[in-house]
Structure 1
Amino acid sequence: MTDTSPDPAEPALPERLARAIALAGPISLAQFMGAANAHYYATRDPLGAGGDFVTAPEISQMFGELVGLWCADLWDRAGRPACHWVELGPGRGTLAADARRAMARAGFTPPVHLVETSPVLRAAQAERVADATFHDSVETLPAEGALIVVANEFFDALPIRQLVRRDQWHERLIACQDTLFLPIAGKPVPDTVIPEPLRDAAIGSILEVAPAAIGIMRSLGRRIAAQGGALLAIDYGYEGPALGETLQAVKRHGFANPYEAPGEHDLTAHVDFTTLAAAGQTAGLSAWGPMEQAEWLVRLGIDSRAAALARHAPDRAEAIAADRMRLVNGMGALFKVLALTARDWPEPAAFG
């Protein structure tokens, strides 16, 4: 495994950020969040009971299997073209392994591409999907053949900007005293960057925007529009634009101060699925949804799959039922599912 321990000669991330702010002034929240999450994911496996959070693929194999069957069905009805399967931010590789197993049973055995920058997580992914091709960014994905892209809890961890309403709208910046980081209001921003219905919002209102997520969606959208394929995004979020602060830090399955100890906990923000869909449509794709994860999983047959697993492992029937309950009832309303397809591809399953 790659050695990811910090270089003892290099100052810790909080000190580096504090020094950068002292030299050049406050930085954007996007810069702060980007640096914090890059360090966080590069230096640990954050998943599981002993980590900081658990994702749907780690709860039950049913999740990854249904994702895989969704992909295989779409590929089949698109005419079985030459195709690559891609996952963005694949965690431990659990979803990829479960999806691949389900796809193979349906006759779909595409090359697997994983977009991941963390050496720790790449090592875990390689154990589960040994022949995967790794990429540092979406820009190096294959330029020929359709792309079916899965992004489960990927967009929420990308850097956001926050705009705060005072006498005018201002971008929120991060200042520092010693290594105590705190948000402040920066210079005013033009009203034209604020959606018109929100421009006269009450004093103190916060608007979050995600330029990094939009950039990745547009880049992938252009590729999929030209090459064929689809993108499936599953994340917690809302249909915007909307006001409110959703930035949060998670550590040991609880909430933490997002401005404290950058790089030592996961920073995320809820995904604006309306804006994400619009970015894909602008790139030439058709959008489907978003819909709640609960309805999507039920329409795809999670109840039948849970029943089949319980029949084959009756000693685990209660645990399987609890996992199904967590995916559908626990996470089902907060998490949304959005699909985007090339315009000559069929309507994806469960969205009709």
Structure 2
Amino acid sequence: MTDDRPSPNPSRKREGDLSDNPLSAAPRQRAENAAEPLLAERLARAITLAGPIPLSQFMAAANTHYYGTRDPLGSRGDFTTAPEISQMFGELIGLWLADMWDRAGRPPARYVELGPGRGTLAADALRAMAKAGFEPPVDLVENSPTLRAAQAERVPQAEFHLDMIGLPEDAPLLVVANEFFDALPIRQLIATGDGWRERLIACQDTLFLPIAGDRSFDMIIPKPLLHAEPGSILETSPASVAILRGLAARLLAQGGVAVIIDYGYEGPAIGDTLQAVRGHQYANPFEDPGEADLTAHVDFATLKEAAEAEGLIVHGPVTQGAFLEAIGIGSRTDALANASPGRAEQLALDRARLTDPEQMGELFKVLALTAPGWPAPAGFA
């Protein structure tokens, strides 16, 4: 995937053959307290004492440590996201939000971003929104001290929150979640000769490995997948659904819109999409927990169903390439190139990275959620 994470492992299945935070590479490091054991040692001790743990628990612990102890972005980090590739990405999101605000009657709305990275998307979006005559208050949901510091430099007016619970309740919300849901913990269920079981993480010393648990999960498997071949994996993300429901409650009570941009598929589908990225290369997800970015492809069908069940109006998903082209990346590329002819070639390359099907354009999807009574968003015709 060309957000500078490596493209999906071809041995993994993508959609149908399933073919690119509240948890928001660097050298291995200990916590600030040098006497504190590494996360791997703490997990190994816990598993040794209490037995194997669900993959979701392992992933949550690893990503909490990972995002809390470093800036993972850029050439010195582990991956690069769309806002870091080009200012056009954040600018177009900002103009898209400003258009929604304008057609909704210009209410006193707030800009909210979940897992804002370095704050690059927010800075670019807010600059574009200001040029459109809209300068909203800013709320960033982030629990990494390292990333909060970077965000505060780029968006000094922002108020920070550890989760959505602390968000103000007095105005509609314009919510952005770019590459947020992919880092949330997933549960993996694996087909065996005796039915479906949950994938657990066991360990020997500090060697972690997945195993099948004893408890049957046949009752929650979709009927078309119930008799899948042994070894088949089905992924779910209860954490993602819980956050989606919390977001829906906010939008229904306060009004507004949310845009979710991430790599993923429309399920249910069989496939193991868990991956680790370290130094812009694939890594073993079970090696050195907390020292690599653990992600999984987002099941947009599940998010869509959860949002509709809560009463939101759902638009999409559509591919990122189609969405960006529909809301004007071509015109923005031309305008920037005319203003800086020396950048024309690089701008064209950046546009291609964001929109071409072989790069980020196809694998990344865009889903918009609106409160009843809000206008239909652009880009989803």
Query: What's the TM-score bracket when you normalise by the shorter of the two chains?
Result: over 0.9
Counterpart for residue 196 of structure 2: 169
| 1:344 equivalenced with 2:370 (yes/no) | no
Provide Cα deviations, 1:44-95, integer angstroms capped at 9, x if missing partner. 1010111100000000000000000111101111111121110000000000
Alignment root-mean-square deviation, CA: 1.0
Partner of 1:32: 58
Alignment of 1:264-279 (within 5 A): 264-279=291-306
Maintained 8 Å contact 1:247/1:267: yes
Amino acid across the alignment from 1:336: K
Taking structure 1 as the reference length, what is the TM-score of the superposition?
Answer: 0.98
Aligned to 1:290: 317
- The correspondence of residues 141-152 of structure 1 with structure 2, limited to 5 A, is 141-152=167-178
Amino acid at match of 1:340: L
Q: Secondary structure at the match of 1:331?
A: helix
Report deviation, 1:124. 0.3
Q: Which range moved further: 9-18 or 138-147?
A: 138-147
Report the Cα distance in structure 1 between the residues aligned to 2:89 and 2:189, rounded to whole angstroms.
36
Aligned partner of 2:205 in structure 1 is 178
Deviation at 1:107, TM superposition (A): 1.4
- Distance in 2, matches of 1:78 and 1:192, equals 44
- Asked if the contact 1:168–1:188 (Cα under 8 Å) also holds between the matched residues in 2, the reply is no
Q: 1:207 aligns with which of 217, 234, 237?
A: 234
State the 1:5 CA deviation. Answer: 4.4
Q: Are 1:7 and 2:51 matched, yes or no?
A: no
Tell me the SS of whatever aligns to 2:200.
Answer: strand
Return the alpha-carbon distance in structure 1 between the equivalents of residues 217 and 89 of structure 2.
43
**Contact 2:31–2:38 (8 Å) recurs in 1:** no
SS in 1 for 2:239: helix
Q: Which residue of 2 aligns with 1:101?
A: 127
Give the Cα separation in 2 of the matches to 1:251 and 1:130.
Answer: 30
SS, match of residue 108 in structure 1: coil
* 1:112 and 2:141 correspond: no
1:175, 1:162 → 2: CA distance?
14
Aligned-pair distance for 1:191?
2.2
Deviation track 1:7-41 (CA, whole Å, cap 9, x = no partner) reads 11211100000000011100010110000001001
| 1:75 equivalent in alignment to 2:104 | no
Q: Percent identity at matched positions?
A: 66
> CA offset at residue 6 of structure 1?
2.9
**1:40-59 maps to which residues of 2 (within 5 A)?**
40-59=66-85
Alpha-carbon separation, structure 2, partners of 1:324 and 1:5: 39
Q: 2:343 matched to 1:316? A: yes
Which residue does the alignment assign to 2:185?
Answer: 159
- Retained in 2: the 8 A contact 1:156–1:271? yes
Match of 2:158 among 111, 132, 138: 132
Gaps of 5+ in 1: none
Deviations 1:112-134 (A, max 9, x none): 10000000000000000001000
Structure 1 contact 294–333 (Cα < 8 Å) conserved: yes
Alignment partner, residue 250 of structure 1: 277
The code of the aligned residue for 1:13 comes to L
Counterpart residue type for residue 240 of structure 1: G
Between Structure 1 and Structure 2, how many residues are aligned? 349
SS of aligned partner of 1:346: coil
The answer for the alignment partner of 2:49 in structure 1 is 23
